[in-house]
Structure 1
Amino acid sequence: MLTHNPSTVLEKAFQTVAESQMCQLPFYRAHIPVRACGFQLFEHQWLGCMLTPWMLSLLVLPGPGQVWTTRTVGEKLALTLPCGNVRFTVGEMDGCGQYLASSLMSPLEKHTSAGTMIMLAEQTAKMALSFPIADCTQPADPTRRALFRIPTRSHERA
């Protein structure tokens, strides 16, 4: 249970993994920093993006006063966020405890700059909590019959 924004704790934990386990792998992008982006409380849980030299993921962690049932690492579950249903995998890391992760990009593109990746991570965290935009030109009732119906306006009289 994290009572404050988990960004600092996450960055420290993922930096340790970067230095001890990941830095020698061929898909490691040394120019990309370890950065926790856009973490905020959503329905009493911490939600944001984790950027590392090897991946970009959407993460959910227990918020203040929240105690999660311990799950098996690797277990899959879906959460409904304002942006839609998102599939997560249970992860666990020393210093962070259990968290949910949804991989968005892994491995990272070779030639993408650090600034671009940070901006992408920050914007993705915001988008996850944004309501989807509907096409207002599409009929509310997409059945075949509704497509051929002439829309009426309340101020028009037949």
Structure 2
Amino acid sequence: MPGRITHPRFTQNPGPQLAAWYQEHAAPRMADLPFYRADMPIQCCDFQRFEGQWVGTLLTPWMLELVVMPGPGQVWDERPTGEALGLAFPAGDIRFRVSSPQPDLPLLSCSLLSPLPATLSPEQAQTIARDALRLLLALPVTEPAALDTSRRALLTGQLRG
């Protein structure tokens, strides 16, 4: 049975720490690959708290990913690296994979672009990173006439849209 790990340390945005780790450790190992884009920055875009977790995007010279990291005091079950895990967001269910670049950087990731297209500029990649996160967390809009907004539906969890 897997253990449970409480993560107290990410009281502040973990994006800068994650970007620094990729800059120092991952970039040197990836730099010789044919799809490595030396013109592309390594950065974490717009990390914010959602449901107690940190959610953001990670842009590197070889990929763009959605990332979830534990918020302060969050308890995550111990899972093997590479295991798939589905998470529900306002935009829908998203499949992530368990990862941990190092023991103190646990995360879930979902690839958006890998490898990055050769025609994609750094500015375009940063826009996609920000837009992807905004769309992921956007509340879905429905037609008001299609909703059953009775108090009974709300209280019994049967609110339909």
> Could you tell me the TM-score, scaled by structure 1's length?
0.81
Give the counterpart of 2:82 among 48, 65, 74.
74
- Give how far 1:30 is off: 0.8
The answer on 1:89 being equivalent to 2:91 is no
Counterpart in the other structure of 2:43: 35
Q: Which residue of 1 aligns with 2:73?
A: 65
Aligned amino acid, residue 37 of structure 1: C
AA aligned opposite 2:95: R
- Cα deviation for residue 125 of structure 1 reads 1.2
TM-score, scaled relative to structure 2: 0.80
Cα offset, 1:109, TM superposition = 0.5
The secondary structure found in structure 1 opposite 2:128 is: helix
* Larger of the two Rg values belongs to structure: 1
CA contact (8 A) 1:11 1:36 kept: yes
Task: List aligned pairs for 1:131-142, cutoff 5 A.
Answer: 131-134=139-142, 136=143, 140=146
Q: Is residue 17 of structure 1 aligned with residue 16 of structure 2?
A: no
Counterpart in the other structure of 1:106: 114
Considering only aligned residues, what root-mean-square deviation do their CA atoms show, in Å? 1.9
- Greater shift in the superposed pair: 79-88 or 117-126: 117-126
Gaps of 5+ in 2: 1-6, 148-161
Question: What amino acid maps onto 2:106 in structure 1?
Answer: Q
Structure 2 counterparts to residues 42-53 of structure 1, below 5 A: 42-53=50-61
SS, match of residue 64 in structure 1: coil
CA distance in 1, matches of 2:104, 2:63: 18
Q: Any unmatched runs of 5+ in structure 1?
A: 142-158
Q: Distance in 2 between matches of 1:28 and 1:68?
A: 33
Identity of aligned residues (%): 42
CA shift digits 1:105-135 (9 cap, x unpaired): 101000111011111111111111002344x
Contact preservation (8 Å) 2:18, 2:105: no
Q: Does the Cα contact within 8 Å between 1:83 and 1:131 map onto a contact in 2? A: yes
1:92 partner amino acid: S
Shift in Å, 1:140: 4.3
- For the 8 Å contact 1:10–1:96, the answer to whether it is kept is no
Higher mean alpha-carbon deviation, 120-129 vs 17-26, is at 17-26
Q: Does 1:126 align with 2:126?
A: no
